[in-house]
Structure 1
Amino acid sequence: MTEISIIIPSYNRYPQNLLTLYSLEKQTFNSAKMEVIFINDGSSDETHQALKSFKPAFLFKYIRNERNGGRSKARNIGIKHANGKIIVFLDAEMIVDPDFVQNHYNAHQREKNLVLSGGLYQKRVYTCVYPQFTQKQRLHIYSMLKKAALKKAMLNLKEQTDKMIQLVSKKDIMTRKYRLLSYKSPYLPEIIKQYGENLTGYQLPWVLFFSGFVSLPKQLLQKVGGFDERFKGWGFEDWDLGYRLYQNGATFRCAANVSAYHQEHPVSARNVFREMCKNYFLYQRKHQSFETSIHVLVLTGKISRIQESIIIGEYKSLCKTYPNKFQSFKKGFQILLKEMARLLANQKPLKQFINKLDSTYFLNWKHVILSERNEMNALKQYPHLIKTFDNIIAA
């Protein structure tokens, strides 16, 4: 009986995707009870040829898409072919420790409706050196190789600059020698420090749904539906699904023993941010709530993630205490946030956007909104909410 299905979408990630698969061969979990569904999403590299000889002990389902359809579509294909009671989403460049699958399984035996992520404890590892790496990255790799006394690799790194150099082999995965080239790089470390692994008091637990390495019951996934395939490129397809899970009563937790090693590869930060802003706009429009709208201020660097949670907490308190009051302020604030997201998605400047706002509601009711803001301020219960609003309209 299949207990766990691991879904891996891959697009031009050879040879890193092979190293990920090798790490799954090293698992302590009973291989007869797990399956790996690998979706080759229209890759043009050596992935297809390399996997012809891959014969692991676990059930391996290989699906090849002729054209690249994106991560959301690829993962949905994986979901359709999954027979496990527990689904683990794993990116193609993630190396996992031998107890990774077992720890996911154990956690789900203890708690129902659980979404479990290791993202807050993520580590990074250099398994390949790419010509596109920065000088800073190459120096970092060289220092690690020197520390590990890997002289041959150091020599190759010095001599080769125009082609990819593979530093880690299958043997290195099996002996866990790859850890010599790894370093801690936790995602959102401030969250775990402030709220702990159970995210107690954190107002946005669904942001822990990192599709790079996360698990949940298949039954819960079927309840909310899979990934929204309208999200293209990088970002927010996972938060969208996470938010739907949150709305349907999922419990979000993070644990160090289900973390993974992200294999570093070239990334265009500019392209990633551009795609992320477009996807965020879709995410914000799809979920018409203050708690999804306020994130635009994190994207633009105006507030921190801790401040974001505090502001949402104050907004929820305002709505609970005064459900039928301050309606103009509530609506006007969200209009501002939506306009910021629209400008960001279209790569337009945010400076003095308040003067160019084309919302007739906000302009016509601005005096009412400001009046309600002053009344709220007199209550002295929502300082972060009011300060954030003030900063926006003063921009």
Structure 2
Amino acid sequence: MDLKEFPTISIVVPCFNVEHVIERCIEALLAQDYPKERMVIVIVDDCSTDDTLKKIQQYKNNDQIKIVKHFRNRGLAAARNSGINASRSQIIGFIDSDIVVRKDWVELMMNVLQNPNIVACMGDTKLPESLSQDNIDKFLYHPKRGVRKFDEDTPIEIPGFIMGNSFVKREALRKVGKFDESFNTWGGEDTDLAIRLWERYPDGLRFTNKAIGEHYHKRELNNLLNDMKKYGSTNYLILLDRYPQYNKRLAGDWIKSFKGFLILNPIVNLIVKTIYLIFPMPRLIRYFIAYNVIQGARNSEEGIPKLDRKK
């Protein structure tokens, strides 16, 4: 097969303080079953404060790797955009720097994108076998959670498409735009771009459970819930304000509805916490996440007026 028949690919790897795993991430990408002449790896260091950049610099003489440095921390959306801007390939891949992909990751993603009607594909993420599974992992990696309930033939609807393990055709990004850098804290930038892709290509987003990356990022429940509360008070409200037509899809109707008041009821919260202490069922984590997102949204002095204006 002529090399020119293989589409050119740029894999964008945004990095911030991942010295513990970045080398494994890079080595896994270099080992992909895809012509090296047709693939470049763009590593973007978002002003790390540990030895991440030092470890990245070990690869500066590798012809397959391009290194981009931020001189201040600009956030995930900006780091991904810097990677896009530094590339010229037909296909843009995104992989978070704490994910180590399997050898056939690129090949399996490209198999899906061969369909001219598909513009983006999301891969699956699993807990590494070397790490023990706790309740948070059982929830996050549940086989029916989020887009995992879709097969390759079923178009994904918003808001499930996440960019941390994904491929997108450059032409689609040219038409809908890149990541919005106003999302400079945790969460929301994926959903914003996914909505724009979905609106233009309603049947063009797919998920494959074959293209697998192992995620070396253990979450503590309290840290996860703090992130969710901050997301609820910031980026989540931006999404609701920007896309009022998807208020229900984004669960924005929960903020001021009876369901939301019930979730935030102190007695209900105490009961659920007590049950979790006695019977730590992973499914209860969904309640804690909803509680913190809704609480963050309702407590935001800026967010609630924005939502009121859309009524």
Whole-angstrom distance in 1 between the partners of 2:17 and 2:95: 15
Question: Alignment partner for residue 25 of structure 1, among 20, 26, 30?
Answer: 30
Q: Partner of 1:45: helix, strand, or coil? A: coil
Alignment of 1:1-395 (within 5 A): 3-54=8-59, 59-119=64-124, 122-125=125-128, 140=132, 186=141, 189-191=144-146, 195-199=150-154, 205-250=157-202, 251-266=204-219, 268-277=223-232, 278-291=234-247, 294-296=250-252, 302=259, 344-345=296-297, 347=299
Q: Which has the larger radius of gyration?
A: 1
3-state DSSP of counterpart to 2:180: coil
Q: Is the 8 A contact 1:4 1:105 kept in 2?
A: no
One-letter amino acid of the counterpart of residue 263, structure 1: Y
Query: What SS does the aligned partner of 1:258 have?
Result: strand
User: What percentage of residue pairs aligned between the two structures are identical?
Assistant: 22
Instruction: Say how many residue pairs are matched.
Output: 263
State the shift of 1:255 in Å.
0.8
**For residues 361 and 116 of structure 1, what CA distance do their matches in structure 2 show?**
32
Q: Please list every run of 5 or more consecutive structure 2 residues that lacks an aligned counterpart in the other structure.
A: 261-292
Q: Shift of residue 225 of structure 1?
A: 0.6
What displacement does 1:190 show? 4.5
Distance 1:361 1:70, change over 3 A: closer
| 1:256 Cα deviation after fit | 1.4
1:15 to partner: Cα distance: 2.2
CA contact 2:94–2:167 (8 Å) conserved in 1: yes
User: Helix, strand or coil: the match of 1:42?
Assistant: coil
Matching residue's letter, 2:175: K
Inter-CA distance 359–296: structure 2 relative to 1 (3 Å threshold): closer
Residues 1:106 and 1:198: Cα distance change in structure 2 (over 3 Å): closer
Corresponding residue of 1:134: none
Structure 1 residue 67: deviation in Å? 0.8
In 2, the alpha carbon distance for the partners of 1:183 and 1:125 equals 13
| 1:124–1:185 CA contact under 8 A, matched in 2 | no
How far the C-alpha of 1:108 sits from its partner, in A, is: 1.5
Give the whole-Å Cα distance in 2 for the aligned partners of 1:301 and 1:59. 55
When normalised by structure 2's length, the TM-score is: 0.73
- CA distance in 2 between counterparts of 1:46 and 1:91 reads 17
In 2, are the aligned partners of 1:116 and 1:215 still within 8 Å (CA)? yes
- Provide the C-alpha distance between the structure 1 equivalents of 2:198 and 2:241, rounded to a whole number of angstroms: 17
Q: Are the equivalent residues in 2 in contact too, given 1:234–1:272 (CA < 8 A)? A: yes
Going from structure 1 to structure 2, the CA distance change for 1:10 and 1:100 (only over 3 Å counts) comes to same
CA contact (8 A) 2:143 2:149 kept: no
Secondary structure, counterpart of 2:34 in structure 1: coil
Give CA-to-partner distance per residue, 1:202-249, whole Å, 9 cap, x none: xx7133321110111001011111011111221111010000011112
Give the direction of change, closer, same or farther, for the CA distance of 1:191–1:301 in structure 2 (3 Å limit): farther
**TM-score, scaled to structure 1:** 0.58
Amino acid at match of 1:124: L
Which has the larger share of helix? 1
State the Cα distance separating 1:53 from its structure 2 match: 1.9
The change in CA–CA distance for 1:223 and 1:47 in structure 2 (over 3 A counts) is: same
Rounded to whole Å, the distance in 2 between the matches of 1:31 and 1:301 is: 56
